Amino acid sequence: MKLRFQADADFNQIIVLATLRREPAINFQTALTADLAHRQDSEVLGLAAREGRLLVTHDRKPMPRHLAEFVATQTSPGLLVVPQYLSVASVVEDLILIWSASEAEEWLNRVSFLPL
């Protein structure tokens, strides 16, 4: 199955828009579209899981811990943590590479950090 992304509420929307501009075929849902504002991390992980979307976040400290708790009882499409210091261009390139070179099943219950 093709990888689909879900941005969490704090994720830089410029990255989402730039990724979609560079590769319109990518299915990358914004936090606004998914109504993620003011939701707890566990809820966000649950929503991403129900929709089969790899969650993309800048939250490097709490989210991996929350994912570990989540996968103890459920399957997750995975978590990709993007440091805020990376340039928009490099993140977009990495997201497009990840999307084009992998399948959704490869990311199940996995936490990854950019750069890869």
Determine if residue 67 is left, alpha or beta; phi over 0 gives left, psi from -120 to 50 gives alpha, anything else beta: alpha
On the 0-12 / 13-18 / 19+ scale of CB atoms within 10 A, 89 is exposed
State how many domains the chain has: 1
Query: What is the chain's length?
Result: 116
pLDDT in the model for residue 71: 97
- Which residues are within 8 A (CB) of 26 and not within 5 positions of it... i.e. 6 or more apart? 5, 19, 20, 95, 96, 99
- 112 HSE (CA, 13 A, CB side): 18
Using CA atoms, how far apart are residues 95 and 53, in angstroms rounded to an integer?
Answer: 13
How do residues 25-72 score in pLDDT, each as one tens digit?
999 999 999 999 899 999 999 999 999 999 999 999 999 999 999 999
Domain of residue 49: give its range: 5-113
pLDDT in the model for residue 97: 97
pLDDT in the model for residue 3: 97
* CATH number of the domain bearing residue 31: 3.40.50
Q: Report the SS3 class of residue 60.
A: coil
Q: 116 pLDDT exceeds 90?
A: no
The model's confidence at residue 24, banded by pLDDT at 50, 70 and 90, is very high
How do residues 67-102 score in pLDDT, each as one tens digit?
999 999 999 999 999 999 999 999 999 999 999 999
